[in-house]
Structure 1
Amino acid sequence: MKKVAIIGGVRIPFVKSFKEYNHVGNQEMLTACLNALVTRYGLEGKRIGEVALGALLNRSTEWNFARECIMGTALDPHTPAYNLQRACGTSLDATIQLGLRIACGQIDTGISGGSDTNSDIPLLFKQQLAWKLVDLRAAKSVGERLKILASLRFKDLAPVYPSIVEPRTGLSMGQHTEKMVKEWGITRQEQDALAYQSHMNAAKAYNDGFFNDLVIPFKAVKRDTIVRADTTPEKLAALKPAFDFSGNGTLTAGNSTLYTDGAAALLLASEEYAQQQNWPVQAHLVDAESAAVDYVHGEGLLMAPTYAVARLLKRNHLRLQDFDVYEIHEAFCGQVLCTLKAWEDADYCKKLGWDTPLGSIDRSKLNTRGGSVAIGHPFAATGARIVAQTAKILQQRGSGRALISICTAGGMGVTAILER
């Protein structure tokens, strides 16, 4: 098996939806990231072994989204590309899939990535209207057409806006997380403290120049707009609950990810090919695991990474404490804290196949350059953002091992181990 090298990644600044990138589509955002990779690594006219890209909020007309993005770059047009989607784990899954193909020698290079925007969202109309319009097109006579037109109602024209709601429960991800934090006894103060630390870490990373080569300017925006260097515990504590208005809610706009627009892309290669191209290797993708939970019958919607990590550790003969860096996606600060608390619980860890608790982690190693609450969360872009950020952290350290964990809608989780 070949070693899978992470060469580097780039992304456009992540911004709050309906603002700076209003009316900018996924293809334009992600193509900008791909072109930046092409320029940085001298890929003009070169054929990449495979490209895997994804977006959650895409249009039905973008059925060949990845390939169209590639055709907008200076890459050799013989470069193949395909779409994939696993909710918030999309671009981490893309990275894993390409890594497997590199490891087994099928390809020498790959580009993974993702993009999402709420500001160019594809609106749908009710299915009844679609059926009537299809029937109208197929009608053979004027009479048939008039009959169908006469059946149209104003309610048929009401748009259907996409919503982040689980179809089998009717609850939003935030509402599911409210249930989780109550089950695990996570307080509002704990969630706000983690959010504050996320913003402080991201702000410091910017001040230190950490993001200088990770974030490229786009649409006159030069840096992430959600990071709040001036936030305080008091400001976070003053925010109102965002998902539970009964007076018992603990999730707010401050300790949850905001709707975000953005894109990210990542270049992978075999160790041998990287050496041939004189590309410095930031880190290696070592192993990965995915999991799912039965959230419909009582398990926490965003707890699947607990299972994935447990299996990943066992397969690699590692302990939870055997990592220098922990990058846990902050869909909600409450969800991160539930995950950490579950790993410390003996009874819960028995469900994960462990006789003893996985234990606690050193919190000073968690999301050290800022997490999703501070940086933002364009759904399909987050995985590539986290992998690129983590690989650079390992490169700067000179050595080490990192654990990446991303929860997703549908009660799933995707995790990975990076090493240098």
Structure 2
Amino acid sequence: MAEAFIVGAVRTPVGTKKGALAAVHPADLGAHVLKEVVERTGVDPAAVEDVIMGCVSQAGPQALDLARTAWLSAGLPESVPGVTIDRQCGSSQQALHFAAQGVMSGTQDLVLASGVENMGMVPMGANVQFAVDNGLSLYGEGWGQRYGDQEISQFRGAQLMCEKWGFKREQLEEFALESHQRAARAIEAGHFDDQVAPLAGVERDEGVRPDTTLEKMAGLKPLRESWELTAAVASQISVGASAVLIASERAVEQHGLTPLARVVQLSLVGDDPVYMLTAPIPATRRALAKAGLSIDDIDVTEINEAFAPVPLSWIQELGADPERVNPNGGAIALGHPLGATGTVLMTKLVNELHRTGGRYGLQTMCEGGGQANVTIIERV
């Protein structure tokens, strides 16, 4: 099987839902990172064979195949096609999987994996509003026969995880505080400077709260009475875009590219859709087994902090070193622009491996429907 290499990775700052990036059209958000990764790598844009873009709420300005619109909005060659995909929160990580698989299969040499989400302009769930407005089921008869009429939501799933693993509110808040502190330290130390392409006057991630405290978190109301969850222990509604260029060995030589990482393993797993957020655990076990690695071999992990119980349960079940997990903070502090987060995390992961000299990195995230992607890379 052919090798696939990451040769470029870039992201916008992650903006808040009411920040400066919220006024930027999603196509222009995507255009910014696509153009940036082409310029940074020096690759001939006409040599790119496909642009695969993750986007979850494909409605309004995020409809009509955003990948194609973003590429053309960047002034890049009309000869390059684009496709927009939805694997919920893992959409752009799945875009990276498809891109790498195209290269590893030998059918493609240069593919751009990317993601965009402007949750300030297109609210989460905007693409399902038609069903809601017209009293239509989102799931259908077969689903109802299998799972009944119980509530299916990420919020309930996170609470069910708290109950299963015995997490209490104070533990969740301690984890959230650490996420903000790690992110604040990373920003001040300049760890993100090389990977971020400023846009609309925004140069740094906007959601980080370096002055938050456990006392402030304790004053928030739970999402529901008797629940452990509050807004402080959940990922933020955000705006952002990201792009990763995947190349074959032949393309690396032909275009004079510099490999940053080699793709080692691509895995997918489904789990209980009611719990919804637990699949990173079995997905990681599968990926490690297929790669012939142990969790101790992984120098850096990026796991999406959709809710604090997700990384906490993953760390507990895998026996991972917490210091190696989200070392520069996660989505609780930095935000979660749904379709963009997958390649945001990969951009962070590649850069952290190079900054620290680590060998192996692992990325995973929970996804709607009870799914998870896992990507293992090796620094080059």
Question: Is the TM-score greater than 0.5?
Answer: yes
Contact kept in structure 2, 1:24 and 1:119, CA below 8 Å: no
- Pair 301,75 (structure 1): closer, same or farther in 2 beyond 3 Å: same
Please give the per-residue CA displacement for 1:374-412, whole angstroms capped at 9, x wherever unaligned. Answer: 110000100000111101111223341111111011111
Match of 2:173 among 164, 188, 192: 192
Tell me, yes or no, if structure 1 residue 312 matches structure 2 residue 287: yes
Q: Measure the CA separation in 1 of the matches of 2:374 and 2:251.
A: 26
Amino acid at match of 1:184: W
Q: Measure the CA separation in 1 of the matches of 2:284 and 2:114.
A: 23
Contact kept in structure 2, 1:196 and 1:231, CA below 8 Å: yes
Please give the per-residue CA displacement for 1:341-364, whole angstroms capped at 9, x wherever unaligned. Answer: 3x2xxxxxxxxxxxxxxx411111
- Pair 168,3 (structure 1): closer, same or farther in 2 beyond 3 Å: farther
| Displacement of 1:256 | 0.7
Q: Measure the CA separation in 2 of the matches of 1:323 and 1:281.
A: 20
Partner of 1:10: 10
Q: Measure the CA separation in 2 of the matches of 1:40 and 1:254.
A: 36
Amino acid at match of 1:113: S
Q: Measure the CA separation in 2 of the matches of 1:25 and 1:221.
A: 15
| Displacement of 1:185 | 0.1
Match of 2:258 among 245, 259, 280: 280
- Pair 276,260 (structure 1): closer, same or farther in 2 beyond 3 Å: same
- Pair 45,128 (structure 1): closer, same or farther in 2 beyond 3 Å: closer
Tell me, yes or no, if structure 1 residue 407 matches structure 2 residue 366: yes
Contact kept in structure 2, 1:15 and 1:262, CA below 8 Å: yes
Q: Measure the CA separation in 1 of the matches of 2:148 and 2:208.
A: 32
Match of 1:295 among 273, 278, 287: 273
| Displacement of 1:277 | 3.0
Paired residue secondary structure (1:46): helix
Amino acid at match of 1:316: A
Paired residue secondary structure (2:302): strand
| Displacement of 1:233 | 2.8
Paired residue secondary structure (1:219): coil
- Pair 126,189 (structure 1): closer, same or farther in 2 beyond 3 Å: closer
Q: Measure the CA separation in 1 of the matches of 2:181 and 2:175.
A: 10
Question: Where in structure 2 are the equivalents of 1:90-101 lying within 5 Å?
Answer: 90-101=91-102
Please give the per-residue CA displacement for 1:99-124, whole angstroms capped at 9, x wherever unaligned. Answer: 01111221111111111122222768
- Pair 378,286 (structure 1): closer, same or farther in 2 beyond 3 Å: same
- Pair 285,129 (structure 1): closer, same or farther in 2 beyond 3 Å: closer
Amino acid at match of 2:7: I
Tell me, yes or no, if structure 1 residue 321 matches structure 2 residue 321: no
Partner of 2:201: 220
| Displacement of 1:329 | 0.8
Partner of 1:59: 59
Amino acid at match of 2:67: A
Q: Measure the CA separation in 1 of the matches of 2:342 and 2:265.
A: 15
Please give the per-residue CA displacement for 1:226-249, whole angstroms capped at 9, x wherever unaligned. Answer: 0112222333333221x22x2x22
- Pair 317,230 (structure 1): closer, same or farther in 2 beyond 3 Å: same
Question: Where in structure 2 are the equivalents of 1:124-273 lying within 5 Å?
Answer: 169-241=150-222, 243-244=223-224, 246=225, 248-273=226-251
Q: Measure the CA separation in 2 of the matches of 1:412 and 1:119.
A: 26
Contact kept in structure 2, 1:91 and 1:112, CA below 8 Å: yes
Amino acid at match of 2:327: T
Partner of 2:354: 395
Partner of 2:308: 333
Percent of residue pairs bearing the same amino acid type: 29
Contact kept in structure 1, 2:7 and 2:41, CA below 8 Å: no
- Pair 317,25 (structure 1): closer, same or farther in 2 beyond 3 Å: same
Tell me, yes or no, if structure 1 residue 367 matches structure 2 residue 368: no
Partner of 1:161: none
- Pair 25,283 (structure 1): closer, same or farther in 2 beyond 3 Å: same
TM-score, normalization: structure 2? Answer: 0.89
Contact kept in structure 2, 1:51 and 1:66, CA below 8 Å: yes
| Displacement of 1:47 | 2.5
Paired residue secondary structure (2:198): coil
Amino acid at match of 2:19: K
Partner of 1:384: 343
Greater alpha carbon shift after TM alignment, 393-402 vs 283-292: 393-402
| Displacement of 1:73 | 2.2
Contact kept in structure 2, 1:66 and 1:81, CA below 8 Å: yes
Partner of 1:134: none
- Aligned pair count reads 364
Partner of 1:351: none
Q: Measure the CA separation in 2 of the matches of 1:66 and 1:118.
A: 17
Q: Measure the CA separation in 2 of the matches of 1:106 and 1:198.
A: 40
| Displacement of 1:167 | 11
Contact kept in structure 2, 1:327 and 1:386, CA below 8 Å: yes
Please give the per-residue CA displacement for 1:314-362, whole angstroms capped at 9, x wherever unaligned. Answer: 2222222221111111001122212333x2xxxxxxxxxxxxxxx4111
- Pair 167,415 (structure 1): closer, same or farther in 2 beyond 3 Å: farther
Contact kept in structure 2, 1:26 and 1:55, CA below 8 Å: no
| Displacement of 1:177 | 0.6
Amino acid at match of 1:291: V
